[in-house]
Chains A and B, each alone.
Chain A
Amino acid sequence: MKHTINELEDIAAQVRRDIVRMVHACQSGHPGGSLGCADFFTALYFEVMNHNTDFKMDGKGEDLFFLSNGHISPVFYSVLARSGYFDVSELATFRKLNSRLQGHPTTHEGLPGIRIASGSLGQGMSVAIGAAQAKKLNNDHSIVYSLHGDGELQEGQNWEAIMYAPFNKVDNLISTVDYNGQQIDGPTEKVLSLENLQAKFEAFGWQVINSDGNDMDSTVKALHYAKSLTGKGKPILNLMSTQMGYGVDFMMGSHKWHGVAPNNEQLATALAQLTSTHKDY
């Protein structure tokens, strides 16, 4: 372990502070899913991935990460900055004019750490598969990670990709689904149920593991376990249960904070629940 679980939890707490402050500062953005995935991103970038903060687009010889549900950009930006891709002070520019931190991630502004634009949903798994297959052609044994929303799986392109990856033995891919059960119009169970997601992925030929994405120990262990399953002929799916808004009590477990910014009072309440461990930007 590069860090103890406690150290990782401290980083995640700071990331959560960044998220609510960023979204508050521009009065827009998506705090719910960002907060829910703060532990996952922290585990990935500070513990699990072998990556280089001296950013090169081709990422040869290092693990790569692709965010498919691009609206949770606040957590992505915070973790990229906190792990050293760019200065944390730049987080203050999120969603503002002339910023590299666009509402949804883009390569267009040259922000280090971003390898593909995302936001229009359902495209990230295909891209991750392509990057994984390029690694195989390059004889590069590092791993490609991706993250997807659960509601996002309603987009049909995912199922093209889900069918393709096992058939083509893309076994250097670890995809995670943020299984929070919420989407803009309400619980996924009511909008368009995903039914038995594990059985669906297994039927397509994936190796499926489960984790609790708001328990740092479970998150780290699951990702390490997933890594141990690579190279065995199957892509790996980490079905990661989270709570939208995790860490801020009034945002938790509801779709209502999917894309709403806190006001001044709500910000103060949220920050009171999140310890500043690595100094605010």
Chain B
Amino acid sequence: MKKYTYTEKKDTRSGFGAGLLEAGQKNPEVVALCADLVGSLKMDAFIKEFPERFFQIGIAEANMIGIAAGLTIGGKIPFTGTFANFSTGRVYDQIRQSVAYSDKNVKICASHAGLTLGEDGATHQILEDIGLMKMLPGMTVINTCDYNQTKAATIAIAEHHGPVYLRFGRPVIPVFTDPDQKFEIGKAWMVNEGTDVTIIATGHMVWKAIEAGEKLAELGIDAEIINIHTIKPLDEEAILKSVKKTGCVVTCEEHNKYGGLGESVARLLSTELPAPQEFVAVNDSFGESGTPDQLMTKYGLDSVNIVEAAQKVIKRAKK
């Protein structure tokens, strides 16, 4: 197992804030919109440097999506910022008609995704957003795993033409990816090469997959770990190549098991390369209040759950 270490912990939303500033410095067409959550989205640095390119919308997410769509017509590259729940479920039809169907170059940037938003509870913890967004034709869906990857992804989506959903979160987590990485949309990252089982993880679950890989190595299991940061378009080639070698797969995501990364992988495998699969995901439920760590444990999203799923799927593959 390749050794991953970290010297600091940061939140992915701060990676977004840093990436937004750099994207703004690189391209004068980049503009930002926020629905009364500037601090939560870490947009302050962008606003300070480019006050005329920032639009405070107020608590009116539908209007924000529409204004963003309109701004693209004049050549702007708008980044909208609010919580994941208010970025997707609340404004699904606005995104569907004014952004996706109209092919507008809007970057929908969503913080506080999943359970790790914590104490605010289920009203704010969306676990369905990947599904909502990936069903929209033409929508690119990205869920990043640490500060550096989020920053790189934010810069990369500014250079990509088309609607994008960028999902990140609130908790402070290890920073373990390369600070100078080039983020390639739709290109999987090989975290660790192995032969016994393929573990595919996205977002906050990538670090947990690394922890699981270390525990599996101690048990004599050689896990291949792949980070799928881009859920749509899916890097089918990387997944098929790995599962051809290992014969089984565990998917890990901080999302409902319905509609997420796991189902995208299952669709691919069922048509191209049928293989046993286990899902480490939320079991069709809403979240609740608690600390992020407590919630990840209660809802079965810890490294121990990945270890168990890997052992189970390897047994199934051997039958």
List residues of B (28-76) whose CB comes within 8 Å of A's CBs. Answer: 31, 52-53, 55, 57-58, 60, 62-76
Question: With an 8 A cutoff between CB atoms, is A59 at the interface?
Answer: yes
Smallest Cβ distance from A216 to chain B, in angstroms?
Answer: 29
Do B67 and A129 touch across chains, with their CB atoms under 8 A apart?
yes
Smallest Cβ distance from A161 to chain B, in angstroms?
Answer: 5
Residues of chain A contacted by B64 (CB below 8 angstroms)? 126
Question: With an 8 A cutoff between CB atoms, is A160 at the interface?
Answer: yes
Question: With an 8 A cutoff between CB atoms, is A196 at the interface?
Answer: no
Do A129 and B70 touch across chains, with their CB atoms under 8 A apart?
yes
Residues of chain B contacted by A137 (CB below 8 angstroms)? 31, 52-53, 74, 76
Do A157 and B62 touch across chains, with their CB atoms under 8 A apart?
yes
Known: A133-B55, A157-B66. A118 touches B97 (CB 8 A): yes
Do A157 and B74 touch across chains, with their CB atoms under 8 A apart?
no
Residues of chain A contacted by B65 (CB below 8 angstroms)? 126
List residues of A (27-65) whose CB comes within 8 Å of B's CBs. Answer: 57-60, 64
Question: With an 8 A cutoff between CB atoms, is B235 at the interface?
Answer: no
Q: Which residue of A lies closest to B33 (CB)?
A: A130
Smallest Cβ distance from A160 to chain B, in angstroms?
Answer: 4
Do A126 and B74 touch across chains, with their CB atoms under 8 A apart?
no
Complex CA distance for A66 and B98, rounded to whole angstroms: 12
Question: With an 8 A cutoff between CB atoms, is B102 at the interface?
Answer: yes
Do B66 and A126 touch across chains, with their CB atoms under 8 A apart?
yes
Q: Which residue of B lies closest to A57 (CB)?
A: B73
Question: With an 8 A cutoff between CB atoms, is A86 at the interface?
Answer: no
Known: A107-B102, A117-B101. A134 touches B73 (CB 8 A): yes
Q: Which residue of A lies closest to B29 (CB)?
A: A137
Q: Which residue of A lies closest to B70 (CB)?
A: A130
Do B60 and A133 touch across chains, with their CB atoms under 8 A apart?
no
Q: Which residue of A lies closest to B28 (CB)?
A: A137
In the complex, which of the residues A58, A122, A133, A140 contacts B67, with contact meaning CB atoms closer than 8 Å? A133
Complex CA distance for A57 and B76, rounded to whole angstroms: 12
Question: With an 8 A cutoff between CB atoms, is A69 at the interface?
Answer: no
Do B73 and A126 touch across chains, with their CB atoms under 8 A apart?
no
Residues of chain A contacted by B284 (CB below 8 angstroms)? none
Do A116 and B69 touch across chains, with their CB atoms under 8 A apart?
yes
In the complex, which of the residues B67, B70, B78, B93 contacts A120, with contact meaning CB atoms closer than 8 Å? B93
Q: Which residue of A lies closest to B35 (CB)?
A: A160
Residues of chain A contacted by B193 (CB below 8 angstroms)? none
Do B103 and A157 touch across chains, with their CB atoms under 8 A apart?
no
Known: A127-B66, A163-B60. A135 touches B74 (CB 8 A): yes
Question: With an 8 A cutoff between CB atoms, is B291 at the interface?
Answer: no
Known: A60-B75, A138-B74. A127 touches B101 (CB 8 A): no
Do A160 and B103 touch across chains, with their CB atoms under 8 A apart?
no
Question: With an 8 A cutoff between CB atoms, is B311 at the interface?
Answer: no
Q: Give the residue among A123, A127, A137, A164 with the most B Cβ atoms within 10 A.
A: A127
Question: With an 8 A cutoff between CB atoms, is B192 at the interface?
Answer: no
Do A123 and B66 touch across chains, with their CB atoms under 8 A apart?
yes
Do A117 and B97 touch across chains, with their CB atoms under 8 A apart?
yes
Complex CA distance for A64 and B71, rounded to whole angstroms: 13
Do A164 and B60 touch across chains, with their CB atoms under 8 A apart?
yes
Complex CA distance for A168 and B108, rounded to whole angstroms: 22
Question: With an 8 A cutoff between CB atoms, is A80 at the interface?
Answer: no
Do B75 and A123 touch across chains, with their CB atoms under 8 A apart?
no
Residues of chain B contacted by A71 (CB below 8 angstroms)? none
Do A58 and B75 touch across chains, with their CB atoms under 8 A apart?
yes
Complex CA distance for A160 and B59, rounded to whole angstroms: 9
Chain B interface (Cβ < 8 Å from any Cβ of A): 31, 52-53, 55, 57-58, 60, 62-76, 78, 93-94, 96-98, 101-104
Which 8 A-B pairs give the minimum distances between C-beta atoms?
A130-B70, A126-B66, A134-B74, A160-B63, A160-B60, A130-B67, A131-B70, A127-B70
Interface pairs (25), CB distance under 8 Å: A58-B73, A58-B75, A106-B101, A115-B73, A116-B73, A116-B98, A117-B102, A120-B96, A120-B97, A126-B63, A126-B69, A127-B66, A127-B98, A129-B70, A130-B67, A133-B70, A134-B76, A138-B74, A156-B62, A157-B66, A157-B94, A160-B62, A163-B58, A164-B57, A164-B60
Beyond A124-B66, A126-B70, A126-B98, 13 additional pairs, beta carbon < 8 A: A59-B74, A108-B101, A108-B102, A116-B102, A129-B63, A130-B70, A132-B70, A133-B67, A134-B75, A134-B76, A137-B53, A137-B74, A160-B62
